[in-house]
Amino acid sequence: MSKGAISINDDAFEKTVLGSSLPVLVDFWAPWCGPCLITGPILEELAEEFEGRVLMTKFNVDEGSRTPAQYGIMAIPTLIIFKDGKEVDRVVGAVPKHVLEGKIEALL
């Protein structure tokens, strides 16, 4: 298993996220988005902290629109947590690390 968040796209979403046996956090982001650039390093820290227990992924909305449209992504960053292929939590905007940690811990 690789360390850090993995990049996914429309084609990889179903297998990687919906088909995962682990809970999955998906960060819908773009490289031009200031708050997204704040969230990125937090996600990398969380990926190491929860390695083997939660899969951290990043979805660049500039590289695919089907999945963001399907989940009603209207603002970025939007972070959605999936468990057993279903959305169980969502955070819109940049939030402190402890907020995301709390949401992830609640699922484990």
Looking at the annotation, which residues are catalytic?
33, 36
Count the neighbouring beta carbons within 10 Å of the beta carbon of residue 35: 15
